[in-house]
Structure 1
Amino acid sequence: MQGLKRFYYNVPFSDELVLEGEVFNHLKNVLRCSAGEEIILYNDVNIARYRIDSLNKRRISAHFIEEKKQINPDYMLHVYLAVMKNRYMDNIIHKLGEIGITKLIPVYTENSTATVNNNTYLRYNDLLIKGALQAELDFLPALEKTVEIHQINPECDTNLLFAARRAEIKIPVVTSKSVSLFLGPEGGFAEKEIKFLSEKGFSIVSPLSSVLKAETAAVVFTGMVKILMENASV
Structure 2
Amino acid sequence: MKRIYIDEDPSGSVQLPDDIHHYLKNVLRAKEGEPLGILTPTSFCEGVLERMENRKSFISITSKRPVVKPGYRLSVYQCALKREYMDFAVEKYAELGATEIIPVYSSRSLRELKDKTLARFGDISLKAVLQSENEHLPVIHEPCRIEDIEADNADRLLFYEREGESRGLGLTSRDVAMIIGPEGGFEPEEAEMLKGKGFRSVSPFKPILKAETAAVVFTGLVRMELE
Would you call these one fold, judging by a TM-score over 0.5?
yes
Q: How much has 1:114 moved relative to structure 2?
A: 5.0
Match of residue 132 from structure 2: 135
C-alpha distance in structure 1 between counterparts of 2:105 and 2:114, whole Å = 13
Identify which of 1, 15, 19 aligns with 2:16. Answer: 19
C-alpha distance in structure 2 between counterparts of 1:114 and 1:34, whole Å = 45
The answer to whether residue 167 in structure 2 is matched with residue 170 in structure 1 is yes
Please report the TM-score for the alignment, with normalisation by the length of structure 2.
Answer: 0.94
C-alpha distance in structure 2 between counterparts of 1:21 and 1:187, whole Å = 43
Match of residue 203 from structure 2: 206
The answer to whether residue 85 in structure 2 is matched with residue 81 in structure 1 is no
Worse overlay, 173-182 or 79-88: 173-182
Match of residue 29 from structure 1: 26
Match of residue 48 from structure 2: 51
Match of residue 106 from structure 1: 103
C-alpha distance in structure 1 between counterparts of 2:5 and 2:149, whole Å = 29
Runs of 5+ in structure 2 lacking a partner?
none
Match of residue 195 from structure 1: 192
Q: How much has 1:32 moved relative to structure 2?
A: 2.2
Q: Is the 8 A contact 2:2 2:28 kept in 1?
A: no
Q: Is the 8 A contact 1:20 1:58 kept in 2?
A: no
Percent of residue pairs bearing the same amino acid type: 35
C-alpha distance in structure 1 between counterparts of 2:151 and 2:123, whole Å = 24
Q: How much has 1:14 moved relative to structure 2?
A: 3.0
| 4+ aligned runs moved over 3 Å, structure 1 | none
Match of residue 2 from structure 2: 5
Residue 126 of structure 1 aligns to a residue whose secondary structure is: helix
Please report the TM-score for the alignment, with normalisation by the length of structure 1.
Answer: 0.92
Deviations 1:75-105 (A, max 9, x none): 1111011111110011111111111111111
The residue type paired with residue 42 of structure 1 is L
Report how many residues are paired.
Answer: 227
C-alpha distance in structure 2 between counterparts of 1:139 and 1:161, whole Å = 25
Deviations 1:11-69 (A, max 9, x none): 34232211233321221123321111111122222222221111111111111111122
Runs of 5+ in structure 1 lacking a partner?
none
Residue 93 of structure 1 aligns to a residue whose secondary structure is: helix
Residue 106 of structure 1 aligns to a residue whose secondary structure is: strand
C-alpha distance in structure 2 between counterparts of 1:196 and 1:84, whole Å = 21
The residue type paired with residue 14 of structure 1 is S
RMSD of the TM alignment (CA)?
1.4
Q: How much has 1:113 moved relative to structure 2?
A: 2.0
Q: How much has 1:168 moved relative to structure 2?
A: 3.7
C-alpha distance in structure 1 between counterparts of 2:116 and 2:141, whole Å = 14
